[in-house]
Chains A and B, each alone.
Chain A
């Protein structure tokens, strides 16, 4: 195993819809808008797309939209090309990017389109992910589980083990809301105060309402090609220099695993190790300029810092509290507002992160721009932390 891409892969175009409760837009509307935006950004016509991947995690929520990749090719009018729908829990979006990248690297295709999309608000918020645990999945082992409840198990342990007060979570919520307020595409565009955070109703102790990402509609897309083709196009682009994916345990058994310490995620550590090895990164805290990580809940972002090697074990809370991951800090994390403020349309999120990091590397992030960003990271985490994808992107030239 070489452990690296056989050909260099470039991201030459990205596009996103606004994220939010898009009651007036259908799944196909979102796919079409994001896909066309990415094609326009790359400056290529539809006909140049040789293969496509669609990431959607829960098609059941919206009349099976996204159940197959024809929900990408149909709205964009792409006829005859190979297209595949992928899913991998909340890493679904990055899984689509990964599939496209592997295809380009293989030499079989030179230009691919990847779209991540999720239409979650066709039903009330309780009808999407919560309903999955109740109305689908295992008759015994699933009942009582919720997404916040499963991540809250880490919150309890993390605060106790490392001696933090619950308020340490607020630093993440405030930062990401502040960033989201500067992101025209974010679901939530208002900063919050620590008092608001503290007054919010409890969701799953120690996680309150402002510790949780919302239920959101949205789509994001990227055009991938070879470095040579990107050069020929003559537009700014970014290179995918590291790509790791790691699985660890299973959805219904990971909490039963006596080795689970509920202080972090081995899947993230595994994916990061793969990506860093490919990108030649030895000290991520110094060598990365910007990062988008999977903050489905505030506690998740804290353990991500540690699992991604941005700080030592137990230091995530301090890192957030000291503002080292805010804009202007040592390494700004989730300058988009993250899942917390952008929302988390599951299939879209990973592609959205790639788009946001590419924007940073190309100097297109406006008020949120990290000056001189040359190398950035994207990270998603799926299920109760059992599958993770990490990508490293670098500015070309």
Chain B
């Protein structure tokens, strides 16, 4: 199949519920307070759940040929984040699932690989990039980093796309500006004056020039630069040097303000912000730059922008999130101050046998009488029918009853448990996610989100939790 171009069908950003204000961070450390806040993943969120939240926001995740998941903070080594997501979102067992990591550029690299697969197969491909980022407590980096996920759907260019990929280029150079020793979770940075000038600057400039050449445009035609990350100032200087107009190179400050330096997801968050302000035909340079080089994707905004705007765009303008009451609570959320130790029971065999269906929300429907049950049953309880079809539990529902449980050990007490009646029939009973005390009530609209339930046997267990639906 001949594919003339690669289109960006859909794009979504997901931020976790919690926020640490830079004022609270400064109060704790006796520093000068900065503006705004950084998004903070809760104890039950990691790069897998942030990616799941972003993928959930894409309209229609099904019917894809591959899922590429990028990030440098995958919770487990030698276990595929993309396969967990493929199962939870029920994408089908036949899709290619691949995990990219090792560099903050992996989010952009995933898009470049996805574009190649779209061209080669004429297929639609999902890309997700997410990171949960930590720095040493008290360092300048700590309030600047962020946790976020982004997801995109790419396919053969078509009417209604948000943008079309006009060109791309990469540059690689091993110069140490940022790194994280294996087994540690805090980011290290080299001399702030040395690394930008010698590593990122030249790399970005070279990649940008070649990407523009690939697209058949000049840097001066770039309407906006979508570059995430803490090195924004440096990137700006580099692209300006490459011939991009100063106004365009500045990028959209909302991306950094809302999501912080969220690692592999940051250039996608910046692209989402740039699309909010773009007009069809505008050229946007998505720039991912970090230790080891730079990737640049030149997007030409498409006629899908109207729909993008109508459905709320990136959503970065909408104030969201819940302030963490204190820096101490932040440390506990991050697992840096011990909570009650837990080593929940698990069984790999049981998880495979039952947990897989439960994770896919696979219930059973009686072929004879239509009686539905989740979790699935071996027999229809209503009529005794033995022929059962698989039907998934709905993802949205309404709280039937609930409790704030102060007994169950949690880094975010109380644990709120709720029963919800789900759309399409059936109920779900389980924990609520990121719900402050006092919010739960009978009749509350909720939806199911993927969360990290616990680490029994040092294995991350993913399951669904009920999240209040924000009604604006």
Contacts and interface: CB of A to CB of B under 8 A. Distances in A.
Contact of B431 (A135, A144, A157, A203): A144
Contact of A256 (B405, B429, B454, B461): B429
A145 interface: yes
B248 interface: no
Interface stretch (B167-175, B295-303, B339-347): B339-347
A145 B427 contact: no
Contacts of B407: 130, 146, 148-149, 203-204
A144 B425 contact: no
A256 B427 CA distance: 5
B345 A149 contact: no
Contact of B426 (A126, A157, A258): A258
A149 B408 contact: yes
Contacts of A94: none
Q: Is the interface of B mostly helix, strand, loop or mixed?
A: mixed
Which bracket fits the contact residues of B? 35 or more
B374 interface: yes
B355 interface: yes
Given A139-B344, A143-B344, A255-B429, A156 B401 contact: yes
Interface string B152-195: 00000000000000000000000000000000000000000000
A252 interface: yes
Contacts of A202: 404, 406
A253 B442 contact: no
Contacts of A139: 344-347, 350-351, 355, 456, 461
Contacts of A137: 345
Interface stretch (B20-28, B282-290, B413-421): B413-421
A138 B417 CA distance: 16
From B425, B428, B463, name the one whose CB has the most chain A CB atoms within 10 angstroms: B463
A149 B407 CA distance: 8
A140 interface: yes
Interface in A153-167: 153-157, 160
Contacts of B309: none
From A133, A202, A206, A262, name the one whose CB has the most chain B CB atoms within 10 angstroms: A202
B425 A258 contact: yes
Given A136-B345, A205-B403, A258-B427, A141 B419 contact: no
A201 interface: yes
Given A155-B403, A160-B442, A130 B344 contact: no
Interface residues of A, number: 40
B375 interface: yes
Nearest to A132: B345
Given A140-B461, A204-B403, A204-B406, A135 B426 contact: no
Contacts of A203: 405-407
Contact of A262 (B401, B408, B415): B401
B402 interface: yes
Nearest to A152: B403
A381 to B, nearest CB: 18
A204 B429 contact: no
B400 interface: yes
Nearest to B408: A146
Contacts of B415: 144, 149
Interface string B348-381: 0011001100110000000000000111010000
A130 to B, nearest CB: 6
Given A144-B417, A160-B442, A253-B375, A149 B461 contact: no
B375 A252 contact: yes
Given A153-B419, A258-B426, 4 more contacts: A134-B345, A148-B407, A157-B401, A253-B377
Interface of B: 342-347, 350-351, 354-355, 358-359, 373-375, 377, 400-409, 414-415, 417, 419, 421, 425-431, 442, 453-454, 456, 461, 463
8 contacts: A140-B355, A145-B408, A146-B407, A153-B402, A203-B406, A206-B403, A253-B375, A255-B429
